[in-house]
Amino acid sequence: MVNPEYNQQSKSRIIVYDIIKLVAIYLVIWGHVILHLQGYKFPVWQNPLYRWICSFHMPLFMMVSGFFSANIRLSFSDYIKKKFRQLILPSLTFGLLFVLSWHYICDGSFFKPYLLCYWFLKSAFICSILYYIAYKFKNRCIGFILTIVGSVFIFPFQVMYMYIPFIVGAGLNKYKDILQDKAVCLTLCSGLIWMVLFINWPSEMAQFMDIRFYKFITNTPPLTELNYSLLCYFYRIIMGVSGSIFIISLFIMLGKFMPKGKFGMVLGKFGSYTLGIYLIQAILLEHIMMKTIDLSRIEWYTFNYILSPVLSVLILMICVYLTEFMNRYRWTKFFLGK
């Protein structure tokens, strides 16, 4: 069984999952450093490190979101209010700061960046609603099938890629005892599937994300185009799910050997700040630093494997500090949906 200190619940939090969230948000920052701080002078989808991060990091976040949304005891209206406050309110309040910083880097419209910013929070909100609908079906299997099919036609905010990981995360909650007991087996099996898929994931397929299945209803595409779109869709789903399960089961397995003490508690505390970190890094890294820093002259290998991970740690710690500061005051906590 997992070390109790890393699997205990404190105010409905499970510390090992907060540590997983910390790893995931670090990977988000690392990917953004690679994407934004070399002046877009290199094709990132040909960068194996960037492709590796993108193969699983957002499905991992969504899977953890699904884990904590598995058991629904609220009415639909109360559930919507709760999720709106947790997910949409921060994207709306911080979205104003996002748009102001957006105008710092380019002369663009107000409404489009405001609508699209913090896409993951909006995707999680939609996935939560779809899950609620499926959960309340008399036959939940039919409910999940129908909502999965429906999610394929929801193009904005990558819902088509995020909803299945959300469902899998909810399933992991239901079978968490099996997950803990079979962590070693799950780590090996999911890791093998993920590795095989990633090794055979070409850059052309990796950047093919703009799949709008709803257009196939009104237009009759060539069969090869439809088949390739379906291949890319299922390939990314399976790779994202297997990679996410690998990370979750790996950390649950490592929890057996993690030493007791404050270090793990501190990591878990930082992991509970992922919402604030996600909101702040978008402005700090994706806008301000992107506008003022160009590291394209640094040798590729040095930037990829030495400078970018170190810089990502520094950005993470700045975001942690700013999130802690915002949590101290009632009016700033409002921006974090609290």
Note the pLDDT of residue 219.
Answer: 66
Q: Rounded to whole angstroms, how far apart are CA atoms 329 and 19?
A: 25
Among candidates 252, 227, 234, which has minimal Cα distance to 193? 234
Among candidates 87, 36, 65, 249, which has minimal Cα distance to 162? 65
Q: Give me the residue label for tokens 């942690």.
A: 320
For 171, counting Cβ atoms within 10 Å of its Cβ (0-12 exposed, 13-18 middle, 19+ buried), the class is middle
pLDDT (mean) for 81-103: 88
Note the pLDDT of residue 145.
Answer: 95
pLDDT (mean) for 39-63: 91
Q: How confident is the model at residue 195 (pLDDT cuts 50, 70, 90)?
A: very high
Q: With beta carbons less than 8 A apart as the criterion, state whether 255 and 6 touch.
A: yes
For 87, counting Cβ atoms within 10 Å of its Cβ (0-12 exposed, 13-18 middle, 19+ buried), the class is buried
Of 51-65, 106-120, 289-303, the poorest mean pLDDT is in: 106-120
Q: With beta carbons less than 8 A apart as the criterion, state whether 243 and 56 touch.
A: yes
**Would you call 9 helix, strand, or coil by DSSP?**
strand
Amino acid at 7: N
- 128-172: pLDDT as tens digits: 999 999 999 989 999 999 999 999 888 889 999 999 999 999 999
The answer to whether residue 91 scores a pLDDT higher than 80 is yes
pLDDT (mean) for 237-247: 97
Note the pLDDT of residue 7.
Answer: 44
Q: Which residues pair with 14 in a beta bridge?
A: 9
Strands (E), the chain: 9-10, 13-14
With the C-alpha atoms ordered 150, 154, 159, 161, is the resulting torsion angle positive or negative? positive
**Would you call 275 helix, strand, or coil by DSSP?**
helix
**Would you call 261 helix, strand, or coil by DSSP?**
coil
Going from N- to C-terminal start, the domains of the chain cover: 4-336
Q: How confident is the model at residue 8 (pLDDT cuts 50, 70, 90)?
A: very low
Q: How confident is the model at residue 329 (pLDDT cuts 50, 70, 90)?
A: confident
Q: Tally the C-alpha atoms within 13 A of residue 78's C-alpha that lie toward its C-beta.
A: 4
Query: Cβ–Cβ contacts within 10 Å for residue 314, how many?
Result: 11
Note the pLDDT of residue 264.
Answer: 81
Q: How confident is the model at residue 49 (pLDDT cuts 50, 70, 90)?
A: very high
Q: How confident is the model at residue 215 (pLDDT cuts 50, 70, 90)?
A: low
How much is the CA Rg of the chain, to the nearest whole Å?
A: 20
Q: Rounded to whole angstroms, how far apart are CA atoms 269 and 18?
A: 7
Helix (H) or strand (E) holding 298: none
Note the pLDDT of residue 71.
Answer: 81
Q: How confident is the model at residue 192 (pLDDT cuts 50, 70, 90)?
A: very high
Amino acid at 212: R
Note the pLDDT of residue 237.
Answer: 96
Note the pLDDT of residue 3.
Answer: 42
Q: Tally the C-alpha atoms within 13 A of residue 122's C-alpha that lie toward its C-beta.
A: 15
Mean pLDDT, all residues of the chain: 87
Q: Highest mean pLDDT: which of 264-273, 313-322, 326-335?
A: 313-322
